[in-house]
Amino acid sequence: MDFELPEEYRSFRDMVHRWVDAEVPKEWARKLEADEHAYPFALWDKFTEAGFHGVGISEEYGGQGGDVMMQMLLARELARSLGGLAWIWGITSFAGSKSIGLYGSDEQKRKFLPLIAAGELKAAIAFTEPAGGTDLLGAMTTTAERVDGGWKINGEKIWSSSAHVADYLLVIARSDKDAEKKHQGLTLFWVPTTTPGVKITPLAKLGMRSMGSCAIHFEDAFVPDELVLGEPHKAWYMLLPTLNNERIMVGAFCLGVIDGVLEDAIDYMKQRKAFGGIIGRFQILQHYVADIATMQRTTELMLLYCADKQSRGENVGTEANMLKLMASENANQAADLGIQILGGMGYSAETDMQRYWRDSRLWRIGPITNEMVRNGIAESLGLPRSY
């Protein structure tokens, strides 16, 4: 087994690394994140200028091409500086290019993928229900009723990141109330945010502040048939491969956070002086750094394994769950250790450790809680369903 990336991937990774240092350094990311009420359009525009919105989209539709591995290398490098702000690229990549690219019609691909690749379309995911959280299927109360020429959607969604600036929402709703099982009778819709009956309300939260997360209320919101993605009532079967991709992407973002934490910790330990010398000579702090570096390497190996496996079209469900679990807990623990290494400065808004901690804390909860991930892993090993 070859653990080295091919030259094409290494060149791309190194290019993005240099771009991040030059265009979106950590001090700029701190300023963006400090204004929690202002969406960072300047960051979106930088991604557009660099062509990053087109990564993973075929050249046929105006994209840059590239497979899952290329997308994950990009996600990692962006998160090294941006932390959770890297989701500004990731959300549209998942909700738009990945979803439409996999199960959109030819007409939908021709219409929307070039806009996404050009940075002219922003998307948001509207899956979670206010009363359900991780119990997406069991708590699904948002409904889609068949009407002449399309569907009328009623219900509520919550924690839809960047919905307040999005052009389209990727919405899942129950379209068949008589379906025998919870995962049946669901339909996926591509809903313009300007649709009458769609109300979007921003929410305050701990991390990923300036990106914004929202509650969405649908009241008789009409969606025409041409904006249904895939076959009606079959959404859950279509979504499963993209949910694996989302979990791998979370793993890549978490690894980028670990990269940033390790950089900052080592740099600080080489400069900060106490008790007659640099604090980098203290054994306990060296142990913390050794732990963070070990988290970095193990997460990296698991990420490369999952991305490679999915790129080859293999089933990666259990491994993607394992990656999401390990990566999110490693990232949050690494950031916590980073705060401890920096002491009071780690708690200060003048450094990035607190930002890495706040952002990575979310990934232990979303897009699925780590407790539910553990349930799924255990079930894949032949144990009975626990929920």
How far, in Å, are 39, 59, 96, 170, 381 from residue 193 at the CA level?
16, 28, 14, 10, 42
Report d(CA 376, CA 352) in Å as an integer. 33
Residue 303 reports pLDDT greater than 60 = yes
Asked if residues 166 and 124 have their Cβ atoms less than 8 Å apart, the reply is: yes
Picking from 290, 302, 256, 257, the residue whose alpha carbon sits closest to that of residue 3 is 302
Q: What is the residue-averaged pLDDT of the chain?
A: 94
Could you give the 3-state DSSP secondary structure of residue 94? helix
Residue 4 reports pLDDT greater than 70 = yes
Picking from 251, 241, 223, the residue whose alpha carbon sits closest to that of residue 102 is 241
Q: How confident is the model at residue 132 (pLDDT cuts 50, 70, 90)?
A: confident
Q: What is the pLDDT of residue 288?
A: 98
Q: How confident is the model at residue 184 (pLDDT cuts 50, 70, 90)?
A: very high
Picking from 128, 88, 91, 60, the residue whose alpha carbon sits closest to that of residue 242 is 91
Strands 168-174 and 123-126: parallel
Structure tokens at 76: 């990692």
Residue 60 reports pLDDT greater than 80 = yes
Least confident of 135-139, 210-214, 276-280, 296-300: 135-139
Strand spans (E) along 270-385? 273-274, 277-278
Residue 96 reports pLDDT greater than 80 = no
Report d(CA 191, CA 151) in Å as an integer. 11
Report d(CA 161, CA 197) in Å as an integer. 19
Q: How confident is the model at residue 94 (pLDDT cuts 50, 70, 90)?
A: confident
Q: What is the pLDDT of residue 57?
A: 94
Task: Kindly state the percentage of the chain with pLDDT values over 70.
Answer: 99
Residue 239 reports pLDDT greater than 90 = no
Look up the pTM and report it.
0.95
Chain-centroid distance of CA 91 in Å reads: 6
Q: What is the pLDDT of residue 238?
A: 86
Averaged pLDDT for residues 36-61:
93
What the chain holds in terms of domains, given with CATH numbers, is 7-122 (1.10.540.10), 124-233 (2.40.110.10), 236-380 (1.20.140.10)
Q: How is 279-335 classified by DSSP, letter by letter?
A: GGG-HHHHHHHHHHHHHHHHHHHHHHHHHHHHHTT---HHHHHHHHHHHHHHHHHHH
Report which DSSP code applies to 168.
E
Structure tokens at 4: 């080295």
Structure tokens at 97: 């290019």
Strands 143-147 and 123-126: unpaired
Between 94 and 80, name the one with better pLDDT.
80
Instruction: Report how many helices (DSSP H) and strands (DSSP E) the chain contains, helices first.
Output: 13, 10
Q: What is the pLDDT of residue 165?
A: 96
Beta bridge partners of 228: 189
Q: How confident is the model at residue 1 (pLDDT cuts 50, 70, 90)?
A: low
Averaged pLDDT for residues 312-331:
95
Q: How confident is the model at residue 369 (pLDDT cuts 50, 70, 90)?
A: very high
Could you give the 3-state DSSP secondary structure of residue 118? coil
CB atoms near residue 106 (< 10 Å) = 7
